[in-house]
């Protein structure tokens, strides 16, 4: 089956689409990436998403509208991607669309002054995607896991396990998106031995600083150019490493609730109080991410299992300073880009949601209870059948 996976993560930078040819069933599932395409969000949409994700006051009308507008944007991205790959839509059997998370709370917690029950909301209406592409679409992957008592995240470890498990080498898969998360696959592990959690910030804090400092002329620090022109501020770094989230025991997940707008405002306020240069702040925030990852290894991973290799994906894998600092902070572990394993760093999560959709389509569970904390494996997501379903000769 040819499956198109689509992802837009907490960075809200845009939509990644991946075309994946998939056959077989786990543990012998074969998935090969055939194409990747990135479509940046129009500015108004990114702003809308960030406002909601940062917990701004909103109306139900606004959320409802954004759900539909984003569905249309996702459909456009799918059509544009197939055009770029010269693959007729008829040859794609299925779409897996993660949607955009605007709220996620995997366990009951205090948020905006109130203890709230666990819930999660991904928007980007799948009915619109299925209607406009003519391709059956799976979405809403996280809710079934949460209904089964899980945190609804992380879901990619299922795919990490299929891709990277090894009889002799202990491996960890790291995704540096807006938030950074790690999947640990001990040598010779069974699915039940895999564990995963969010280590803390990925690119989110750096992106927010760069956007403020450049007055929105840049959305991120391409190739770490700004960071590399500054110097790390040790005093600030020590302060940042005291972040309580880092000490919290896994399973744990993070989002804009922890490292969003309020957090980067705090950093900028510290900067102006201490007359810190802008580039110095960006460099400190850039170095902070790999240091929190190495800290998570020392506290929670290496005491449990040996890791020989760390496979890095997500936009952060393209940040040379983050990658260099990561390798330097994890002596004895080979730090390599996911690209070396057949799936480019930028395409990895979209690829994963193609595989998860394929599993759902076949009625198989694809959460890892050891990673999410669910009571049992669950079939993830909801399927919108297109007028012509894959079952009727769309393979
Ligand atoms: N060439 C690059 N140099 C530095 N950072 C980059 C580069 N390319 C992407 N990034 C970072 O990766 C982020 C996007 O990562 P992504 O994996 O799409 O995250 P998410 O899954 O949260 O959307 C950008 O916002 C940026 O911070
Ligand atoms: Mg992205």
Give me ligand 1 centre to Cα 117, in Å: 31
* Both tokens assigned to 143: 């809710």
Q: Which of 208, 316, 349 should be mutated for ligand 1, with most atoms under 8 A from CB?
A: 316
Confidence (pLDDT) at 378: 98
Confidence (pLDDT) at 390: 45
> What's the gap between Cα 309 and its chain centre?
20
Give the pLDDT band of residue 257 (cuts 50, 70, 90). Answer: confident
Give me ligand 1 centre to Cα 177, in Å: 6
Q: What are phi and psi of 241, to 5 degrees?
A: -70, -10
What percent of the residues of the chain are helix, what percent strand, and what percent coil, each to the nearest 5?
A: 45, 20, 35
pLDDT in tens, 119-133: 999 999 999 999 999
Residue 98 reports pLDDT greater than 70: yes
Q: What secondary structure letter does DSSP report for 32?
A: E
pLDDT in tens, 29-40: 999 999 999 999
pLDDT in tens, 163-198: 999 999 999 999 999 999 999 999 999 999 999 999
* Whether residue 9 has its Cβ less than 6 Å from ligand 1: yes
Confidence (pLDDT) at 343: 93
Residue 389 reports pLDDT greater than 70: no
Please state, for a pLDDT cut of 90, what percent of the chain lies above it. Answer: 92
pLDDT in tens, 284-321: 999 999 999 999 999 999 999 999 999 999 999 999 99
Give the CA-trace dihedral at 81, 83, 85, 86, to 10 degrees: 160
Confidence (pLDDT) at 392: 44
Please state, for a pLDDT cut of 70, what percent of the chain lies above it. Answer: 98
Q: Which residues face 384 on adjacent strands? A: 137
Residue 387 reports pLDDT greater than 90: no
* Whether residue 316 has its Cβ less than 6 Å from ligand 1: yes
Whether residue 180 is preceded by a cis peptide bond, meaning omega within 30 degrees of 0, is no
* Whether residue 13 has its Cβ less than 6 Å from ligand 1: yes
Query: In angstroms, rounded to a whole number, what is the distance separating the alpha carbons of residues 300 and 288?
Result: 18
Sign of CA dihedral 50, 56, 62, 68: positive
Residue 385 reports pLDDT greater than 70: yes
Mean pLDDT of the region 12-26: 97
Q: 97: Cβ–Cβ under 8 A, 6 or more apart, which residues?
A: 5, 6, 74, 124, 126, 129, 137, 138, 139, 353, 357
Domains and CATH numbers, the chain: 2-152+347-384 (3.30.420.40), 158-345 (3.30.420.40)
Nearest CA-CA partner of 180 in 145, 152, 156, 159:
156
* Whether residue 349 has its Cβ less than 6 Å from ligand 1: yes
Q: 234: Cβ–Cβ under 8 A, 6 or more apart, which residues?
A: none
Q: Which atom of ligand 1 is nearest to the CA of 8?
A: 23
Residue 395 reports pLDDT greater than 50: no
Nearest CA-CA partner of 319 in 286, 350, 278, 280:
286
Q: Residue holding tokens 């490292």?
A: 259
Nearest CA-CA partner of 355 in 9, 13, 15, 26:
26
Residue 93 reports pLDDT greater than 80: yes
Q: Would the pTM of this model clear 0.75, i.e. be above it?
A: yes
Residue 241 reports pLDDT greater than 50: yes
Determine contact, residues 8/15, Cβ cutoff 8 Å: yes
Q: Which of 179, 206, 220 should be mutated for ligand 1, with most atoms under 8 A from CB?
A: 220
* Whether residue 221 has its Cβ less than 6 Å from ligand 1: yes
Confidence (pLDDT) at 311: 98
Q: Which of 315, 316, 347, 350 should be mutated for ligand 1, with most atoms under 8 A from CB?
A: 315
Give the pLDDT band of residue 388 (cuts 50, 70, 90). Answer: low
In the structure, ligand 2 is a single-atom ion and the residues with CB under 5 Å from it are 9, 11, 13
Determine contact, residues 95/78, Cβ cutoff 8 Å: yes
**Distances 213 to 157, 208, 255, 276, 317 between C-alpha atoms, Å:** 35, 9, 22, 12, 23
HEC secondary structure over 256-274: HHHHCHHHHHHHHHHHHHC
Q: Which atom of ligand 1 is nearest to the CA of 224?
A: 4
* Whether residue 315 has its Cβ less than 6 Å from ligand 1: yes
């Amino acid at each position: 089956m040819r499956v198109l996976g689509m992802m837009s993560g907490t960075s809200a930078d845009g939509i990644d689409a991946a075309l994946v040819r998939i056959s077989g069933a786990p543990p012998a599932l074969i998935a090969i990436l055939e194409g990747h395409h990135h479509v940046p969000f129009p500015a108004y949409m990114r702003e809308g998403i960030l406002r909601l994700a940062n917990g701004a006051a909103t109306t139900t009308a606004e959320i409802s509208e954004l759900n539909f507008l984003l569905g249309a944007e996702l459909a456009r991205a799918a059509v544009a991607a197939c055009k770029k790959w010269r693959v007729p839509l008829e040859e794609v059997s299925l779409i897996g669309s993660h949607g955009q998370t605007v709220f996620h709370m995997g366990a009951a917690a205090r948020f905006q002054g109130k203890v709230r029950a666990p819930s999660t909301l991904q928007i980007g209406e799948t009915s619109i995607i299925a209607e406009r592409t003519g391709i059956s679409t799976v979405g809403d992957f996280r809710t079934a896991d949460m209904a089964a008592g899980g945190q609804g995240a992380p879901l990619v470890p299922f795919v990490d396990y299929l891709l990277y498990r090894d009889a002799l080498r202990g491996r960890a898969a790291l995704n540096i998106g807006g938030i950074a998360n790690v999947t640990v696959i001990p040598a010779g592990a069974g699915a039940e031995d895999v564990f995963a959690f969010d280590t803390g910030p990925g690119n989110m804090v750096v992106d927010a600083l760069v956007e403020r400092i450049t007055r929105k002329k840049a959305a991120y620090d391409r190739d770490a150019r700004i960071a590399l022109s500054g110097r790390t501020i040790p005093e600030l770094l020590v302060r940042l490493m005291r972040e309580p989230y880092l000490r919290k025991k896994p399973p744990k997940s993070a989002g804009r609730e922890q490292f969003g707008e309020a957090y980067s405002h705090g950093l900028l306020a510290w900067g102006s109080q201490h007359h810190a240069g802008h580039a110095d702040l960006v460099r400190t925030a850039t170095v902070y991410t790999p240091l929190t990852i190495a800290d998570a290894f020392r506290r929670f991973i290496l005491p449990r299992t040996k890791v020989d290799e760390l496979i890095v994906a997500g936009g952060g894998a393209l940040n040379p300073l983050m990658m260099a600092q990561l390798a330097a902070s994890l002596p004895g572990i080979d730090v390599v880009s996911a690209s070396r394993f057949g799936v480019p760093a930028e395409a990895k999560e979209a690829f994963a949601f193609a595989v998860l959709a394929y599993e759902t389509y076949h009625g198989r569970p694809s959460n890892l209870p050891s990673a999410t904390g669910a009571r049992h494996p669950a079939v993830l997501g909801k399927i919108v059948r297109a007028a012509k379903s894959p079952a009727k000769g769309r393979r």
